[in-house]
Amino acid sequence: MKITPELRDTRLSVDMQQLALTFTSRIIDDHACNFIEDAGDLEELPVFGDDTTAVSTQTHDAMGMTPVQIEAALQSGQDPFARFGAATAQRDMSDIPLSKLFITVLAVQMFQTKDALNKLFRPTNITVLFVKDDKDRADIARQLKEMFDRPLPNGFNVSTLDQSRFKITALGDMTSDPSAPRQARLMKDFHRGLDFQIGLRRAVLALARDPMDLSSSAQALCSQTLLWPEVNRETIVEMLRATHSVTGHLAEDTVRTILPDDSCLRRLPIALLHNSLYHATTIDVARCLTRLATLHAATATTINRPPALTLSHVHGVPDVIEILDGIIADLALWKSGQLNWKDVTSSLILYGNPGNGKTMIAGAFASSANCHLVSTSYSECQAAGHLGDYLRTMKEKVDEAIARAPSIFFLDELDSFAVRAHSAGKNNTYNIQVVNGMLQHLSTLNNTEGVIVLAATNFLDAVDPAIQRSGRFDLKLKVGNPNRHGIQEILASQTKIPEDQLQNTANRLIGRSSADVVAIVRSARTTARRHDSNLTIRHLEVAADQFAPRLDEETLKRIAVHEAGHLLVAYTLGFEMPSFAALGHSGGRVTWQGAQTYTRETTHKELTVLLAGMAAEIAIYGQASSGAGSDANCDLDTATGLALRLETEWGIGRSGLAYCPVQQNDRQNMNPTLKTVIKDHLNRAAKGAQQIIEDDLERLKLISRALLLHRELDQQMICDLLRSGGLQNRT
């Protein structure tokens, strides 16, 4: 007997729609029960139960709306047919076994009619289902067994006895071992199982690749053949009925109109189908699938050629590059199937002063990883128009990253997603919706395998805490100004001048950003061209004079004394050993770890360290310079802010229990009594710093001389100076 699989129309009758809804509801309800046992709590889910006649009588919001109102709701992305009052079907899709739901819906589509399904269970009937993919065949057989192990709903003429005697058997995975003996054994086992069930006159569903896989007995007795269907628009409609509707209804015609055609849906990877279901409404899911289908089709005809710049071309931030190289190595392991995605660091923030190449690093990272780069920002999306246009544009970028996975989704200007608690006035609602939308996008991206989320900001503290928390961003990497060696590397890579000739220029540029260093090289090249000569170290020195004028020796000594004061007092008061100190023609800086928990005592100690630079200058020169109060984020600014938090936010100062934060712009209008209290805190800290320095003046001088000589001190050098009174030979 020649067996030919039959292709059929895929739109379901009302009875079969109700059957699909019953089966999928069972899966969702069973999973919810398992989740409750594990977690102890779960948001209430709608339960349709086994009485399928109840589904068609559910009311929905559209029943009380005019056609104009319904059309307006659909245009806005809402589906009034899927809603009933306050009830919605917004679920966390990560808690639902979507693969099981897809198999279930496709199975119901495959049977198409009640008669075909009833025929499956009639004694002695042999039904053959053709599934070419070996791994799919095993998953389908497993899910069909779960579906039919429980009684069919009312309305299907299948007795419990017939259902209990029904058996499913499937040909094993013929690809797991291509050897002839292994394949012969699998085929023999399949034939033996089929013939055994036939001998018992049982109804059998046999899953095979093609008719040639069947035993001669099964071929002779085959009563119906089925072909496993591919995903199509009706599959999506029935999935949405299960996952996005509380009424059993949805705007079917509208959804079908929006969805891409069946050939496009068939080509979409299952991961993209799953991802689309994370959207809130049936309309949003359909729109998402249309965008994904377009983007996925483009990947088949367009070769993404990443820019030539890679991480090997990025200088000055070796710690950051080392971490990114590690992520790329893990990404390669994931691509080869050797690492689970959950073990890959897939989200990180680059933060730090502007001009140090955070955006460039993102592009170099994508190139080194050989991944498609999707780059966007708050301002780029805002330029599209009003709030709705912004949300749509950002969503399209997110969908592109998902469709082009493995990919890098780079979000610049992360600080534009500001702390919602600080929003005020007419922009408050706008900012809240923007941040909330970004939170949803980040959750979607974090749940998508193959997408690494990279963000950049100059002001990490300004970013809403919910956006930057762990779980949405795994790592936060500081991209600071390059150290002396990094500056030399940048100069050498840009000029081809040997690094040993660049040391003096690099010393002058300590404290400058990477962008400043590159700008100096650009200026030097311009000068060389105008003089029709090759670029030389002299051209660089002239350009550096313009960008970073030389400081006289006495000023450099004073700065060295100032920074040495911070180092000495931080060590004396028991803080963790400072990790870095630098001296350049743009000033000096010390990197140290402040208090981890603030009390009145630890706050006072930190204030003392902050004012130690001024105290050191007074001890050596008799008076302080303007260095402690030169700009925002200077010593005095930071100390004033810390003292204000002690008094107005933490409830541990003289002002008592109150939370009344004082913003930067309000300090000039500060209450006179509060201003006096703040000054008292700072004066007390300054006196404490001065006393420590006067008691250890020789060590202060030793540290300042070392800083003036070496221009940079790492943690080991600082440790040697503070603990043993000199630098140890580390050669």
- Using CA atoms, how far residue 132 sits from 143, 170, 209, in Å, is 17, 12, 5
| Residue 575 DSSP symbol | P
Confidence of residue 97 (pLDDT cuts 50, 70, 90): confident
Give alpha helix (H) positions in 302-386: 318-335, 358-369, 378-382
At the top level of CATH, the class of 484-547 is mainly alpha
**30 burial level (CB within 10 Å; 0-12, 13-18, 19+):** middle
CB contact set of 502 (below 8 Å; sequence gap of 6+): 488, 491, 492, 495, 537, 540
Residue 412: phi and psi, rounded to 5, are: -85, 165
Burial 303-317 (b: 16+ CB within 10 A, else e): eeebeebbbeebbbb
Confidence check: pLDDT of 81 > 80: yes
pLDDT (0 to 100) of residue 462: 86
Same fold, 311-478 and 553-724: no
The terminus-to-terminus CA distance of the chain in angstroms comes to: 87
**Neighbour tally for 264: CB within 10 Å:** 17
d(CA 491, CA 521): 7
pLDDT (0 to 100) of residue 33: 63
- Whether residue 274 contacts residue 405, with contact meaning beta carbons closer than 8 Å, is answered with no
pLDDT (0 to 100) of residue 52: 38
For CA atoms 263, 269, 274, 276, the dihedral sign is negative
**517 burial level (CB within 10 Å; 0-12, 13-18, 19+):** buried
| pLDDT, tens digit (0-9, with 9 covering 90-100), for 506-525 | 888 888 889 999 999 999 99
What architecture is the 311-478 domain classified under in CATH? 3-Layer(aba) Sandwich (3.40)
Residue of higher predicted confidence among 286 and 52: 286
Q: Mean pLDDT across the chain, nearest whole number?
A: 85
Topology of 553-724 in CATH? Methane Monooxygenase Hydroxylase; Chain G, domain 1 (1.20.58)
pTM (2 d.p.):
0.54
pLDDT (0 to 100) of residue 54: 41
Confidence check: pLDDT of 48 > 90: no
Q: Domain coordinates of the chain in residue numbers? A: 14-227, 311-478, 484-547, 553-724
- Residue 518: enclosing H or E segment and its boundaries? helix 514-530
| pLDDT, tens digit (0-9, with 9 covering 90-100), for 418-459 | 776 665 555 667 778 888 888 889 988 998 899 999 999 999
User: What SS3 class is residue 580?
Assistant: strand
pLDDT (0 to 100) of residue 56: 47
| pLDDT, tens digit (0-9, with 9 covering 90-100), for 460-519 | 988 888 898 888 898 999 998 998 888 998 998 888 888 888 988 988 888 888 999 999
Look-up of token digits 């599959």: 235
pLDDT (0 to 100) of residue 393: 85
pLDDT (0 to 100) of residue 416: 86
| Residue 418 DSSP symbol | B
User: What SS3 class is residue 1?
Assistant: coil
Query: Is the preceding omega at residue 306 within 30 degrees of 0, hence cis?
Result: no
